[in-house]
Chain A
Amino acid sequence: MLGRYVSLFQQDLKVTLRNGFSYVVLILAAILVAVVDFAVPSEVKLTPTELFVDLTEGRVFESVLRREGVEEARILRSREELTREVEKTRSGIGIVVEGDLENPRFTVIHQGTEAPENLNLLDATLEGLVRVMRGAESPTGSDIEYLRPRAGATPVPFNKGLVPLIVVFEVVMFGFMVVAVMVFEEKQEGSIRAIRVSPARPLEYILSKASVNVLLALVYGALVVTFTVGPGVDYPRLFLLIGAAALLMTLVSLSVAVFFGNVSEFLFVAIVFMAVFSLPMVSYLLPSFAPAFVTWIPSFPVVFGVREILFPTGKEGFLAPMVGMVLAETAVFLAASHWAVTRKLMREGR
């Protein structure tokens, strides 16, 4: 079995390299590394930009705002000027402060598209600001405790925080398509017929394709991570997780692709699958969006697992159950792809 697997793997690897997939991986990695390192800023303000005008006696708020790091350009001189500036921007929010420190009055001028949650958050922030100005130690009045010690933990820069997404995106999208293209090419040139009348078994065929896919995913992951996050990463754990995910995606793709004759027929189904597998990425960017069905999608634990490996928070024992879950799903799809390859690819007709 090993000899047949090795022959198929060498063959698949050579065909893949000559198909240019390896160049696509390298170019894609280079582009995304450049985007992360040079195009995306390390800090991005995700909430609207607040503009202030302090109309209190003695403008007592202005000095506090400056102390809190609000830039001069966001502190305006009159209500009219504030309204004009808010209108000019697409996401600006204007805050007019009137009254005095004991009895401040805030007026919020916004575009009308702000979510109530954002306005409530703003309300609480302003309240906290007043509390601090009145001498309170904390803006909320609540004590804060952390689940785990935050030793050495610095906030993850925004651009680096995208790396887990970029790594898992390739595993999902590229992994799903590459193996399908390999199968369709064999169908088109008829070389699959030669495999059918050889002693090669479906399992060897599947594992060979999966190995090539895993190898491509590991090379891509190593390049992207090394040139964005840096070399000080737990690579064995990272490779374990990426490898398991790439293996799973290959098997899912094989289970589906063998039922189609060519890429055009497969494309619509592929888009649906890739869209579903991309849903956890929304959860990654918006953590509050994590309905149960999204957490069952295999890419969900993978993207959060990769983040934990790249930017450890001190969570212990997270990897074993995560890899275990991916491997359990892999076992299911190995059985499914074996059935599909045996029935639909290794035989012709009824």
Chain B
Amino acid sequence: MITVRELYHDYTGKGPYAVRDVSFSIEKGEIFGFLGPSGAGKSTVQNIMIRLLGLQRGQILYEGRSIRDMDARFFNRIGVSFEHPNVYGKLTGYENLKYYAGLFSVPTQDPLRLLDAVGLKDAAHRRASAYSKGMKQRLVFARALLNDPDILFLDEPTSGLDPVTAGTVKHLILDKKRAGATIFLTTHNMYIAEELCDRVAFLHEGQIVAMDSPRSLKLRYGERSVAVEYEEDGQVKKDIFFLGNEGDRRSLNDVVAGKNVQTIHSQEATLEQIFIKLTGRRLA
């Protein structure tokens, strides 16, 4: 279990805080999503949790043990996939994994098997500098799995990937969860969060503004709505009508009665809409 309590961080020492009073806990085997737009403080929290940034104020506990008491062996337990692909361009994909594996004092996975799992088997012996951004992203993801970590930190793991490859990566994340790994997922992609996360926290201007399972958040903050596509003046128009709103309900009746309706779908609020409702800002 990971516990974060009253976390603050100030980059300059002169204020303001980039992260303020952030508290949450993650159960073993849970996928916890950290959602927020750029600059919200997501990476700051993750960087403190993986010791890239010093712990200034607050507490971070791994199974009750403070991060301050951890030595370099702590890194044998975690895997980190960075948002920006950071690999040695002069080395091949295989060499990137092979030499990185040599840094761990725990058993590591076969680099070629991992490369195969992320669809890079054929490119294993090509220099990473010749990889596309998506291929580098997958290489970084594979590197995070090398030491078979029981805590995985994933920063925008599907960013820049085509839908098929993103699907492969999502499956691997769910496999890790099934194997018992705890996963901290940082993203501004609400679909990924909805699909993968057991719970999510919305981060806005360095503070958590809401935290729960995606379904509970929708039930608590979302509004049911109906999306209707209809013909008007020879053109197809689309409108969303919120059922809790008296005016919207009347408008919906008028459209259904008086227009040539092409499609009609009921829909629930998205995490994005909830985020906008809570913060007034979009996620992306």
Q: List residues of A whose CB falls within 8 A of some B CB.
A: 3-4, 6-8, 10-11, 14-15, 18-19, 189-201, 347-350
The answer to the question of B221 belonging to the interface, with a C-beta cut-off of 8 Å to chain A, is no
Give, as a whole number of angstroms, the nearest-CB distance from B232 to chain A: 52
Q: What residues of chain A lie closer than 8 Å to B73, measured between beta carbons?
A: 199
Is B88 in contact with A11, judged by CB distance below 8 angstroms?
yes
Taken together as a complex, chains A and B put the C-alpha atoms of A248 and B52 apart, in Å, by 29
Which B residues, 43 to 94, have Cβ-Cβ distances below 8 Å to chain A?
47, 50-54, 56, 72-73, 75-76, 78, 80, 82, 84-91
Q: What residues of chain B lie closer than 8 Å to A191, measured between beta carbons?
A: 86-88
Give, as a whole number of angstroms, the nearest-CB distance from B142 to chain A: 12
Is A8 in contact with B53, judged by CB distance below 8 angstroms?
no
Across the interface, A199 reaches (CB within 8 A) one of B13, B53, B76, B86, namely B76
Give, as a whole number of angstroms, the nearest-CB distance from B204 to chain A: 21
Is B90 in contact with A18, judged by CB distance below 8 angstroms?
yes
Taken together as a complex, chains A and B put the C-alpha atoms of A6 and B13 apart, in Å, by 39
Which B residues, 180 to 220, have Cβ-Cβ distances below 8 Å to chain A?
none
Across the interface, A347 reaches (CB within 8 A) one of B52, B75, B82, namely B52
Q: Which of B26-34, B101-109, B116-124, B271-279 contacts A (4 or more CB under 8 A)?
A: B101-109
The answer to the question of B143 belonging to the interface, with a C-beta cut-off of 8 Å to chain A, is yes
Q: What residues of chain B lie closer than 8 Å to A201, measured between beta carbons?
A: 72
Q: How many residues of B contact A (CB 8 A)?
A: 36
Q: What residues of chain A lie closer than 8 Å to B78, measured between beta carbons?
A: 197
Is B103 in contact with A198, judged by CB distance below 8 angstroms?
yes
The answer to the question of B100 belonging to the interface, with a C-beta cut-off of 8 Å to chain A, is yes
The answer to the question of B99 belonging to the interface, with a C-beta cut-off of 8 Å to chain A, is yes
Q: List residues of B whose CB falls within 8 A of some A CB.
A: 10-11, 13, 47, 50-54, 56, 72-73, 75-76, 78, 80, 82, 84-91, 95, 99-105, 127, 140, 143
Across the interface, B102 reaches (CB within 8 A) one of A7, A194, A349, A350, namely A7
What are 21 pairs between A and B in contact, CB < 8 Å?
A3-B102, A7-B102, A7-B103, A8-B103, A14-B90, A15-B88, A18-B91, A19-B90, A189-B89, A190-B84, A190-B85, A192-B86, A193-B52, A193-B82, A194-B80, A194-B86, A197-B51, A197-B78, A198-B104, A199-B76, A347-B53
Give, as a whole number of angstroms, the nearest-CB distance from B70 to chain A: 11
Q: What residues of chain B lie closer than 8 Å to A190, measured between beta carbons?
A: 82, 84-86
Given contacts A198-B100, A350-B54, contact A3 B105 (CB under 8 A): yes
Taken together as a complex, chains A and B put the C-alpha atoms of A173 and B105 apart, in Å, by 37
Is A189 in contact with B87, judged by CB distance below 8 angstroms?
yes
Taken together as a complex, chains A and B put the C-alpha atoms of A256 and B54 apart, in Å, by 22
Q: What residues of chain A lie closer than 8 Å to B95, measured between beta carbons?
A: 11, 14
Is B90 in contact with A15, judged by CB distance below 8 angstroms?
yes
Q: What residues of chain A lie closer than 8 Å to B54, measured between beta carbons?
A: 347, 349-350
Taken together as a complex, chains A and B put the C-alpha atoms of A266 and B100 apart, in Å, by 28
Besides A18-B91, A349-B53, 5 other A-B contacts (C-beta < 8 A): A10-B99, A189-B87, A189-B88, A194-B86, A349-B52
Is A11 in contact with B104, judged by CB distance below 8 angstroms?
no
Taken together as a complex, chains A and B put the C-alpha atoms of A172 and B87 apart, in Å, by 30
Is A198 in contact with B82, judged by CB distance below 8 angstroms?
no
Is A349 in contact with B11, judged by CB distance below 8 angstroms?
yes
Q: What residues of chain B lie closer than 8 Å to A195, measured between beta carbons?
A: 103
Q: What residues of chain B lie closer than 8 Å to A18, measured between beta carbons?
A: 90-91, 127
Taken together as a complex, chains A and B put the C-alpha atoms of A201 and B103 apart, in Å, by 9
Taken together as a complex, chains A and B put the C-alpha atoms of A350 and B85 apart, in Å, by 23
**Residue among B13, B51, B56, B76 having the largest count of chain A Cβ atoms under 10 Å:** B51
Is B103 in contact with A200, judged by CB distance below 8 angstroms?
yes
Across the interface, B53 reaches (CB within 8 A) one of A10, A189, A200, A348, namely A348
